[in-house]
Amino acid sequence: QSPLTQPSSVSGSLGQSITISCTGTSGDIGAYNYVTWYQQYPGKAPKLIIYDVNNRPSGVSFRFSGSKSGNTASLTISGLRAEDEADYHCSAHSSTRSVIFGGGTRVTVL
Residues whose CB is less than 8 angstroms from the CB of residue 75 and which lie 6 or more positions away in sequence, other chains included: 19, 20, 22, 37, 49, 50, 64, 65, 66, 88, 90
Distance CA 104, CA 93 (A): 16
Q: Which one of residues 73, 75, 77, 104 is an interface residue with another protein (CB under 8 A)?
A: 104
Using alpha carbons only, what angle is made at residue 83 by residues 19 and 102, rounded to the nearest 5 degrees? 45
- Residue 91 binding another protein, by CB under 8 A: yes
Residue 35 CB, nearest approach to another protein (Å):
9
Task: Report the residue number, 79 or 106, with the smaller CB distance to another protein.
Answer: 106
Please count the residues of this chain forming the interface with another protein, following the rule CB under 8 A.
Answer: 23
Binding positions for another protein, rule: CB under 8 A:
2, 32, 34, 36, 38, 45-48, 51-52, 57, 89, 91, 93, 97-104
